[in-house]
Structures are given as C-alpha cells and as structure tokens.
Structure 1
Amino acid sequence: MSKINDSLVVLSHHCIVTNSTPKPFCDVLMMLKNGVPKPSFTELFTVNDVGLNSMIGFRKNGQPIIDQTKTHGYDGELEVYNLCSERINGLGIYGSLFRMTSYKESLLLLNHSDSIIHS
C-alpha cells in the first residue's frame, strides 16, 4: 500500500514467465471515494519490468519512483516511470538502499508542549 497525494493506492506485483524468462510488472490501483459503503479500486496504470518491493513511492504528479538496486545491493539508482512515454528514466541518485516516506508540512512545533507558535 502507498498513497498518491491524499488517495490510497495498492501496488499489485505480478510475474509472467515467457520462454523461461520472468517478466515482472506492477499494477497501481487507486481507491475511489465514491460515497458507497464498500470501497472500490480502479487501475491507474501498469509498470513493466518492476521487481517486488522496488516501487518505493510517488512524486507529487503521481509518477512512481523505483529503486533499481541490484541483487547484490550496491549498484542502485532511483528511477522515475514516465506515465506519458511509459519509459523508466534515471534520476542520477545512486546508492545501495533507498526508503521513502511521506510528510505533511505543519506550523506545529514538536518540541513545545502546547504545539502553538507564539509571536
């Protein structure tokens, strides 16, 4: 599970074997806010050649950010899937382990007990 803007998305990883070659892909499904008691999901897009747990988050515009760390753990690069061209492009950020989390800007101060800004 992840989120795009303020909407819940589910990442559904699959793998099809063709000619003894595994072809991984990931469907991105968004929960609809349609006022019905039972939540429903719609498929937004599919990203091909994406391994399990390699899609680590989304940009503000909804483009997926992918961790292409190799199996030995040292030749990784963050990449972005371009929704229009359906191509994966490198961001030029290299490393061995990437994690991503969302945040929300706030005027509240964490180190003050009343969490109010005084002027």
Structure 2
Amino acid sequence: MPKMVLLAEYLSLNGVDLSEYTRKGELAVEVEEKDVTNYASAGWKELLGGLKSGELGIEFLQDVAATKIDSIMWPLLGTVVPFEVRLSNAVVGTSNPKYTGSVLIKEWKPIEGSVGDEASVGVSYPTSGAVVRATA
C-alpha cells in the first residue's frame, strides 16, 4: 500500500511562493447534493450533484518583519487572487499534481495566540470559480 509523508508541500498565493511560512495547507472541494427523489424512486432517495465549491485552509507561521508574510497578506485582504497547491514542491507530474484556481482573501489575523504559543495564523479562503487539477 503506497504511503506518503508531507515534507515539502507547495503553496502559492497571488504568484508568490509562501511555502516557507506554511505549516499546514488543506484544499477541500465539494458538490451540493440535490434531492430528486420522487414516487418512482421506490422508497430510495435519489441525489444529483449541484454547484461545486472549495475552500483553502492554511496555517502560517507569522512574521511581521518588512517583506514577510504579514506585509504580503495585508494588502490582499478583500481581493480574489490565484492559488496553486501541491503535495510536494517537486516538479508537477502524474505523481505530483497541482491544484489551481482563485480564492477570496476574506480574512487575515495579524495577531493570534496565547502566552507561550508560537506566532501562527490560521485562515480559510473560499474558492472563486473552478478548481483545476493538472499534471503538466
């Protein structure tokens, strides 16, 4: 059975490689379920897929120094930007597909945490438009 350990996930927002700040990245896509059950369904529920949507969840290690993650993300607040994620920062291919699309930067948390915690930022961005999987 194949196994994989995430050691070098790749994350880019707005064309900027943010992998060095990224501790966790999750891309989830889903489709609405639409109930089309009728009397001819013989007592079984019937479903069709509706609208698709996605969400990009990220945990960054915070850095507020000039040109670092806080200064990169702050100006993007409220904008729709392109993203790319891969399981590895290696070359895109059949064993390392890339997922691309656009996300709405709907939040940023300049300060988050408790006494003694590392400075990290957890955010979640909804996709806007299609999410595409590619191997080239």
The normalised TM-score by structure 2 is 0.29
The normalised TM-score by structure 1 is 0.32
Flag the structure with higher strand content. 1
Flag the structure with higher helix content. 2
